[in-house]
Structure 1
């Protein structure tokens, strides 16, 4: 099978690494890819935003299957254009991708189909949004409605912080994503990431993880795209998975079908596990980043066949198996991320760092310049490891980081802390 993977980040490197191991794969392309992906796939200089270019490449190279990594092409309708050209694709339609493309759309869907989530209001004017914030009080959550690369969300514990967040959205800080604002109830509990493979009819659970959104240790500082993750999430035992499927995922699948937008692809539920059970924070319509990195280390089965089963509408005929050992990934980011990350600094020592068989290093934002590997983004490397315990996986990841020569990079030193505290308590 000839496959085209679209994307260039750590998520796509992890997907490429796993797809490349499939015995049914004959050739793997990635557009545009990165230096890490180039070790397992043929990178091609295509623009994911240029759908006509992608379709033409698929026809010229007899591509059998396209896997779309990032959210922006999905929200823009790339899956529809590929399907219209007769090309099999893993990823939701433009109509179904609204689950990620518009937070207001998702909130309205939850209200209509009684899916547990926080109370909310939608606004197109700053004054009205601010009045609602003052009425509700803090803590409160302010979100840009559209895609903002994980940065359009403010969890405000001070009134002025919430009001400033409203102003930031409507002043264009997040581009068109902030033209509408969703202000919603603050949910208290423990966050978890839950994934399902979907084919429009069937939703198949596809792993749990916990990520670390805040830039600073102790979960402090501003939200980022994610500074690290581990899988599985201890807060999501089988009983909680079953409840999440029953109360959130299955009503979402029924609701999307009812409104004429059946969901096919990966449904990524950002959850808050509250005292009253699981509640939806938001949906994403693509694999998580950096959660994919830890899921791929744990997946026993052939990823390519699972993705194809979803695209073919045959998920009721497959199952998913996982390694019991947990996996953990630490994001190494460029100085000043997430505000204005520095690009161009040289990175060395990756071969030595990855020499341990339990370690994989996925490239998230790298490039090659004058024969050297350089930083080319905010989140640059995902140092990923497995172990018998989360503590063991964490130790392996940080031991690998110690061998990487990149003075301009930084990382959190407490990834996995919550799970490790649980392990210590269980051992007493």
Structure 2
């Protein structure tokens, strides 16, 4: 079966790496892909929003399954376009992808169905939001309503910081129309946890839990990024808590989406906070594989990813059992100088072809005129170490990461340390 994966980052590289191991997989195409993905798939120069060109390509090449990676085209209705063209596609329709595309929709849904989340208010007028903000306790969380490449959330520890974030979003429009509305919510303290799940209507098959590191600097300092590293499993979080999150948050949310006439199909990704009392609450939902969570979750998948995706598309996920490895995985992201702000491109990368243990997923790379590797994004590479324990996997990841060099390389040195304290 020939496959088309839409996207071009580290998540898509990991998805293609996993799909390529299926005996059912034929030629894998990726649109638009990147230089690293091109080592596994045939990259096609079509953008993720060029729905007509993508569906025409899929028809012409008799694609048996399309897999949608990024959030933006999902929110714009790419799955609906593929379905209308009669092409099997893995991912939620536009009305279901709104669970990520609008934080207001997501929070209202959780409130309506009594699914645990932080207290919140929503605003479309700056002055009203400012008055409310000044009446609240600190720290406080300000979120742009729409998609902002993982950077639309500010945890403000001072009123000055909170007011600046609100002004940047609603007045400065740094996220464009994604900031036309904001959600202001209470700050939740505790341990963060990510649970991705394959979902087919009300059928939920959770994946291995992971933990992301959003801030750019060690100790969770600095501005939020798309993710600077992640690890799985979470030995410091009791399995009963993980199961409680599945039973009280993920399954009820899947059921709520069906009740709302928006049945979810694909990967539902819950960003959770485990409070000091051990109770999980919802921070956010994403409507697709997380990045970089995918880079540690899929290497732990023992079952055939293509078989799982087909089961979701064909509405028979309830007939499938999914197996996971006991092995640990740790991903360290190597980012460009200046990220998550402006960053240079075209910086030479050395050490990529030297080999070594673990996996390297390309998020933002290209080939120079001489065929050498160069940077082409904010997050450049996701370096994954595997081992019997988090300690072993972490050591392998950093050993490989240290062997890769480019001017201005940024990475955190404390990925997965929360699991070892």
Cα pair 1:189 1:273 within 8 Å, conserved? yes
CA deviations on 1:3-23 (whole Å, 9 max, x unpaired) are: 100110000000011101110
What is residue 348 of structure 1 aligned with on the other side?
350
What is residue 369 of structure 1 aligned with on the other side?
368
Cα pair 1:151 1:223 within 8 Å, conserved? yes
Cα pair 1:201 1:313 within 8 Å, conserved? no
Cα pair 1:363 1:381 within 8 Å, conserved? yes
What is residue 426 of structure 1 aligned with on the other side?
none
Task: Say whether 1:286 aligns with 2:288.
Answer: yes
SS at match of 2:359: strand
SS at match of 2:227: coil
SS at match of 1:409: coil
- Show the 5 A alignment for 1:187-336: 187-274=188-275, 275=277, 277-336=279-338
Displacement, 1:218? 1.2
SS at match of 1:73: helix
Distance in 2 between the 1:355 and 1:185 partners?
Answer: 44
Displacement, 1:276? 5.4
SS at match of 1:268: strand
> How many residue pairs are counted as aligned between the two chains?
418
Distance in 2 between the 1:236 and 1:52 partners?
Answer: 45
Distance in 2 between the 1:409 and 1:326 partners?
Answer: 25
Q: Which moved more, 1:242-251 or 1:89-98?
A: 242-251
TM-score, normalisation: structure 1:
0.96
Distance in 1 between the 2:52 and 2:238 partners?
Answer: 44
Task: Say whether 1:381 aligns with 2:398.
Answer: no
What is residue 425 of structure 1 aligned with on the other side?
none
Distance in 1 between the 2:319 and 2:266 partners?
Answer: 16
- Show the 5 A alignment for 1:123-142: 123-142=123-142
Distance in 1 between the 2:350 and 2:302 partners?
Answer: 31
Cα pair 1:235 1:273 within 8 Å, conserved? no
Unaligned residue ranges in structure 1 (runs of 5+): 422-428
- Aligned-residue Cα RMSD (Å) equals 1.0
What is residue 62 of structure 2 aligned with on the other side?
62
Displacement, 1:76? 0.2
Displacement, 1:259? 1.2
TM-score, normalisation: structure 2:
0.98
Distance in 1 between the 2:179 and 2:141 partners?
Answer: 14
